[in-house]
Structure 1
């Protein structure tokens, strides 16, 4: 999904100057294929979507981090993975205001911020997908066999370091190639690859991202949750039905949000190599699909707290405690304000200075 954000404007008007060695006359194709309406759609849709995702995602994931910081101790591997997942989602969401401005009026923050923001997006999106796989593996071992908790933190944090390192390596190309470039009358933050190998580099990067951010996590989740479902079906437990519904929901949401985007992305990668898209209408459809499916894939980070944290009974208890504490704090604050203003000489003036 990084491509959909890093090259929002680039995907709405194809630039085929780097691909002139193919048999198809892309230079003529570019003149015929006008995509002003696709660009206008991106300028409205993406900022609105990023704003909504930012608000919902930051609220949900911040609550997860706050609960771990103030209430819940990390007793299991899943706790560690959930905390890392929430941090990765938050760091990813914090890049959205920059991409919203980029989609609307162009990039205004220079080359350095372009490189850093693009790299941060890739690091956190990739690590988030990998932590989902880690959570499924830990749940699989917990259900199918009694795993020892001895020294779990040491092994668990080693896995977390591996995930973050892998994601960092995937972001090197963004850090190196991303630049601010004049595009369609605006400055845009885009990956600028070497012209002599632009096709190979672009396609390779997209395929690697598909493998590490979708294929491997999905296969791990599918294997683990299928095995867990088989165990649960053999277990005479009154909570079995709910557990199976949770498993199906987790896998289903992952497929619904990630599969369409990765299929579209693979189609674009194959087109870069083989020149499959030769019609303007097809190109316009792919551009629109990249924006919509990419946004769906991004929205998964807003759903992670609901799917992985809030479904647990302990988290619900801590959320209730947090809400009660906040309500108690507001009540005390209100009472202190009312008491202060009651004995003030200028009651109306003093009251207006407080905003609860």
Structure 2
């Protein structure tokens, strides 16, 4: 999924602004002021971003770092007994932590300008997209793993689990790195004459910008969402046949998982789709519409980033075992001399850390 760092930080003004500043031959369509060549001013959307984004990113940075850091700490404390779901959740927590670590850089970029140089621009942009892709792909992996376990009674990670899980995670991170190659190649810290400031933005033609957004919209959002919806729909069909309060709790959690991903990211991608349609000429572009789209992208991207903060709640804090293990970890930190006496029995350690029921464990919850 192509976040474009909220569309303000990476391509900070309207999509054609850098081309215009470099005397590009790109011709802008007729705008409301009657000009058929000059790009629209972005004063309203830029002022909105300077106020809104730094505050939002600072809040998400703190919440995401604390929540996902707690998840990673608990899982790492039991790394010798992690299930396949736990391993995926550990990688998901790491991905979310690395993603939110880039937010302070983009907050500075939004508030002032990019002051960190081209090298860090490439690394931060690539790191952001790598870890966002990883989050979406790992959620899809968890869904597929639970689908096989519940619907088909097949556990592909039962035999040689460490090797197979490690191979799956390696493939996921490899794909994420591949999709982030344009960030390493084309992101640069460049001076924008219209804004009289330096910003981290892409340095390639508009057609490449549009193509990259389409690719990441499909690969990073639509495909993982379809995988999750398909898998969890079949899981729900199986669980609804059974009775019992525990299974009903697992069903509710399944609905929350899919709903959280959809609610957080669907609005942003709908706005991006509108912007893509304007790039392709399907929708008419004018200054008023462009300004509203830019503001909408900033607001909806903030909703998307909130998903990094929700993951620990959805996949960890709803489970009784996680709360118990979190408390035990805190006790070990403050009472290091009692570490040996506070280990869990081996029969308990074989269970998933994230649920008080077998059904919820199957669901990665």
Q: TM-score range by the shorter chain?
A: 0.7 to 0.9
What's the TM-score once normalised by structure 1's chain length? Answer: 0.85
Q: Are the equivalent residues in 2 in contact too, given 1:24–1:275 (CA < 8 A)?
A: no
Cα distance per residue 1:88-129 (max 9 Å; x no partner)? 111111111111111111011111111111111111111111
Find the counterpart in structure 1 of residue 118 from structure 2: 111
The within-5 A match list for 1:62-73 is 62-71=69-78, 73=80
Q: Are the equivalent residues in 2 in contact too, given 1:6–1:118 (CA < 8 A)?
A: no
Cα distance per residue 1:110-160 (max 9 Å; x no partner)? 111111111111111111110010111112122223334111221111111
**Which of 221, 233, 238 is the equivalent residue of 2:228?**
221
Find the counterpart in structure 2 of residue 154 from structure 1: 163
Q: Are the equivalent residues in 2 in contact too, given 1:81–1:135 (CA < 8 A)?
A: yes
Secondary structure in structure 2 of the residue aligned to 1:190: strand
Secondary structure in structure 1 of the residue aligned to 2:280: helix
Find the counterpart in structure 2 of residue 55 from structure 1: 62
**1:272 and 2:279 correspond:** yes
The within-5 A match list for 1:232-271 is 232-271=239-278
**Which of 101, 105, 108 is the equivalent residue of 1:98?**
105
Find the counterpart in structure 2 of residue 130 from structure 1: 137
Cα distance in 2 for residues equivalent to 1:32 and 1:129: 35
Cα distance in 1 for residues equivalent to 2:184 and 2:123: 6
Q: Are the equivalent residues in 2 in contact too, given 1:9–1:39 (CA < 8 A)?
A: no
**Count of matched residue positions in the alignment of Structure 1 and Structure 2:** 325
Instruction: Report the alpha carbon displacement of residue 8 of structure 1 after superposing the two structures with TM.
Output: 2.8
More helix per residue: 1
Distance change >3 Å, CA 163–CA 142, structure 1 → 2: same
Q: Are the equivalent residues in 1 in contact too, given 2:278–2:285 (CA < 8 A)?
A: no
RMSD: 2.3
Q: Could you tell which deviates more after superposition, 236-245 or 10-19?
A: 10-19
**1:308 and 2:315 correspond:** yes
More relative contact order in 1 or in 2 (CA 8 Å, sep 6+)?
2
**Which of 198, 202, 205 is the equivalent residue of 1:191?**
202
Instruction: Report the alpha carbon displacement of residue 68 of structure 1 after superposing the two structures with TM.
Output: 1.4
Q: Are the equivalent residues in 1 in contact too, given 2:114–2:189 (CA < 8 A)?
A: yes
Instruction: Report the alpha carbon displacement of residue 34 of structure 1 after superposing the two structures with TM.
Output: 2.9
Q: Could you tell which deviates more after superposition, 49-58 or 269-278?
A: 269-278
Find the counterpart in structure 1 of residue 363 from structure 2: none
Q: Are the equivalent residues in 1 in contact too, given 2:210–2:279 (CA < 8 A)?
A: yes
Q: Which runs of 5+ in 2 are unaligned?
A: 337-365
Instruction: Report the alpha carbon displacement of residue 276 of structure 1 after superposing the two structures with TM.
Output: 2.6
Cα distance in 1 for residues equivalent to 2:119 and 2:109: 15
Q: Are the equivalent residues in 1 in contact too, given 2:28–2:38 (CA < 8 A)?
A: no
Cα distance in 2 for residues equivalent to 1:164 and 1:214: 16
**1:24 and 2:29 correspond:** yes
Q: Are the equivalent residues in 2 in contact too, given 1:127–1:163 (CA < 8 A)?
A: yes
Q: Could you tell which deviates more after superposition, 123-132 or 232-241?
A: 232-241
Instruction: Report the alpha carbon displacement of residue 274 of structure 1 after superposing the two structures with TM.
Output: 2.1
Distance change >3 Å, CA 98–CA 29, structure 1 → 2: farther
Q: Could you tell which deviates more after superposition, 288-297 or 68-77?
A: 68-77
Q: Which runs of 5+ in 1 are unaligned?
A: 330-356
Instruction: Report the alpha carbon displacement of residue 39 of structure 1 after superposing the two structures with TM.
Output: 0.8
Distance change >3 Å, CA 22–CA 231, structure 1 → 2: same
Cα distance per residue 1:326-346 (max 9 Å; x no partner)? 5668xxxxxxxxxxxxxxxxx
**Which of 155, 159, 178 is the equivalent residue of 2:187?**
178
Instruction: Report the alpha carbon displacement of residue 13 of structure 1 after superposing the two structures with TM.
Output: 4.5
Distance change >3 Å, CA 151–CA 40, structure 1 → 2: same
Q: Are the equivalent residues in 1 in contact too, given 2:71–2:93 (CA < 8 A)?
A: yes
Q: Are the equivalent residues in 1 in contact too, given 2:57–2:104 (CA < 8 A)?
A: yes
Cα distance in 2 for residues equivalent to 1:273 and 1:74: 51
Secondary structure in structure 1 of the residue aligned to 2:245: coil
What's the TM-score once normalised by structure 2's chain length? Answer: 0.83
Cα distance per residue 1:252-271 (max 9 Å; x no partner)? 11111111111111222222
